[in-house]
Amino acid sequence: MDYDGSYKRIFSEARMVKDLLTGFIKQDWVQDLDFSTLEQVASQRISDSFDQRFNDTVWKAKLKDSWIYICIMLEFQSVPDKWMPLRIMTYLGLLYEDLVRTGGLLKTGKLPPVLPIVLYNGKPRWRHSAEMFDLIEHISCDMERYMPHVSFLLIDEGEIQDEKLRGADMKNAQNLVASLFALENAVEKHAILNVVHEMLTWLKQPEQQSLSRALGNWFDRVLRPTRSDDDIPAFADLQEVSTMLRETVQGWYDEAERKGLAAGLRRGIREGMEKGMEKGMEKGMLEEQQKNNKKMLQLVRAMNDNHIPIQMISDITRLSIEELNRVLNGHE
C-alpha cells in the first residue's frame, strides 16, 4: 500500500502545507509566515547517502526577513518508532550540512530554523518521547550539558477528534488537510461522501487540478483498499469519486424501495387469499409504505447528522427541499 508515496505527492502541493500549518500548529509565528513565498526544497541529495531512509518533503517560507524551513516527515507504519528523535537529529544534520555547502545561510551568517513535523497515522497511539535528550542514559548532571536536545512536532492523526476535523473553523477555512484526516477516520459511506463532496467544491479552480489528481490517486491507492465494502469504486479523479458514491447511495435507496414494494405485494397476496385479493393487497401495501416512510425519515436524518448538504439529500431521496425541511424540523 503506497501510503508514503501518495502522501509525499500530496504534501508536494503548497496548499496542503499551508493548510497543515494554519490548521494544526497553533503558534504565533505561523500567522507571520508569508505563504506566497512557500517554495519546495530539493531534498533528494540530502537523503541519498542514507539509502533514502527519509521519506520527507522540505519547504521553506519567509518569516519576516528570514527563511524558515519546514520538514515534513511521513511515518506510516504499524507501530510508533521510539527512535524517531535520533532519525530527526541525523536528518537535520544532513540538511544543515547541505545548506552550508550550497550557500543556504541567512544574511546573518547563521543557519535557518527548521521545524521537523512527523505525520503519523498508525492505529496504536504514539506514546514515545519526541525529544532526543530522553533517549540517552543520564549518568551525571555534569554530562547533561553535552547531551543533544533535538525534538520534533508530532501530529498523531488518530488523536485528533472528529469534531475538530469537521468543525466550523476547518470548514470556513476550507482546510484540505483536515478533510484528508477526516477521510482516513471515516467509517460510514455517508461520511466519506460528505467529505469528498466538500473537497470537490474547494478544488474547482484550474490551478488546483494537480492537487485534485494527487488526492484522487491517494483515495484510490490508499483509502479504498482499506475499506471492506466492494462497492466503493476505483477512480482517477475526485469528480469520479463524488459521482460514483452518489450513485452508490442512490442504489441503496432504490434497493430499499424495491424490497419494500415486493414485501408489500407478498403481504397483500397472503391476506388476499383470506379476505379478498384486492383488499388484502391494499392493506399490505399501505402498511409496507408506512414502514418505508419510516425508513426514509431515518435515512434523511442520518444523512443530515453526517452533515451531507441538503441539496445532495434532495437529489438522492427525490424529496424537495421544503419536504426535507419539514422532516428535519420534526413536522413529519
Same domain, 74 and 154: yes
Name the residue with cell 399490505. 284
Same domain, 155 and 204: no
Mean pLDDT of 73-99: 88
Q: 38-52, 170-184, 280-294, 312-326: which range is least confident on average?
A: 280-294
Indicate whether 125 belongs to any domain. Answer: yes
- Coil, helix or strand for 237? coil
Among 145, 174, 203, the domain-final residue is 174
Same domain, 152 and 274: no
Mean pLDDT of 44-63: 67
Extract the C-alpha cell encoding 331: 413536522
The C-alpha angle with vertex 57 and arms to 53 and 62, in degrees rounded to 5, equals 140
Q: 79-88, 119-128, 174-183, 227-236: which range is least confident on average?
A: 227-236
Indicate whether 76 belongs to any domain. Answer: yes
Indicate whether 180 belongs to any domain. Answer: no
Same domain, 115 and 234: no
Same domain, 256 and 135: no
From the CB of residue 269, how many other CB atoms can be counted at a distance below 10 Å?
Answer: 13
Is it the case that residue 274 has pLDDT exceeding 80? Answer: no
Mean pLDDT of 31-41: 94
Same domain, 312 and 287: yes
Distance of CA 282 to the CA centre of its chain: 49
Same domain, 132 and 203: no
Banded model confidence at residue 300, pLDDT cuts 50, 70, 90: confident
Among 139, 174, 209, the domain-final residue is 174
**pLDDT tens-digit readout, 191-250:** 777 788 788 888 888 888 899 888 888 888 877 777 665 556 666 666 666 676 667 666
Indicate whether 115 belongs to any domain. Answer: yes
The C-alpha angle with vertex 251 and arms to 248 and 256, in degrees rounded to 5, equals 135
Same domain, 215 and 139: no
Tell me the C-alpha to C-alpha distance, in Å, between residue 9 and each of 15, 70, 166.
12, 16, 24
Same domain, 116 and 221: no
Indicate whether 191 belongs to any domain. Answer: yes
Indicate whether 179 belongs to any domain. Answer: no
Task: Confirm if 20 and 34 have CB atoms less than 8 A apart.
Answer: no
Among 174, 198, 224, the domain-final residue is 174
pLDDT of residue 271: 54
Q: Which domain holds residue 248?
A: 186-332
Euclidean distance between CA atoms 246 and 231, whole angstroms: 12
Domains contained in the chain, number? 2
The DSSP output letter for 289 is: H
Strand partners, 151: 131
Bigger pLDDT: 265 vs 260: 260
Banded model confidence at residue 273, pLDDT cuts 50, 70, 90: very low
- Nearest Cα to 20, choosing from 66, 62, 65, 73? 73
Task: Confirm if 154 and 138 have CB atoms less than 8 A apart.
Answer: no
pLDDT of residue 2: 57
Pairing of strands 33-41, 56-63: antiparallel
Indicate whether 272 belongs to any domain. Answer: yes
Same domain, 71 and 162: yes
pLDDT of residue 331: 56
Q: Give percent above pLDDT 90 in the chain.
A: 36
Euclidean distance between CA atoms 165 and 153, whole angstroms: 19
Euclidean distance between CA atoms 188 and 180, whole angstroms: 15
Tell me the C-alpha to C-alpha distance, in Å, between residue 142 and each of 132, 147, 148, 150.
18, 10, 14, 19
Same domain, 153 and 292: no
Strand partners, 34: 62
Same domain, 214 and 121: no
Extract the C-alpha cell encoding 251: 442504489
